Amino acid sequence: MWNLSVGELLLYLLIGVVICLVFAAVIFFIAKKDGAKLEDLLSGIPEDKLELLKAEEYQPLDSKGVKCATRGLIAAMNSDEKKATIHLIFFNAPRQEFYDQTAKIPAAEAKGKGFKQFDMVPCEMKYDKEMHIHEFKKIM
Write out the chain's pLDDT in tens, 140 residues: 577 788 888 888 899 999 999 998 888 777 666 656 778 888 888 888 888 988 888 888 887 767 888 888 998 888 888 898 898 888 888 778 888 888 888 888 888 888 888 889 998 888 877 777 777 787 87
pLDDT at 111: 86
Residue 6: the pLDDT is 81
Q: Where are the beta strands (DSSP E) in the chain?
A: 59-60, 67-79, 83-92, 97-106, 120-128, 133-139
CA 112 to chain centre: 26
Q: What is the pLDDT of residue 17?
A: 92
pTM: 0.69
Q: What is the pLDDT of residue 20?
A: 92
User: b/e per residue, 93-125, with b = 16+ CB within 10 A?
Assistant: eeeeebbbbebebeeeebeeeebeeeeebebeb
If one looks up domain 47-139 in CATH, what number appears? 2.40.50
What is the per-residue pLDDT for 9? 83
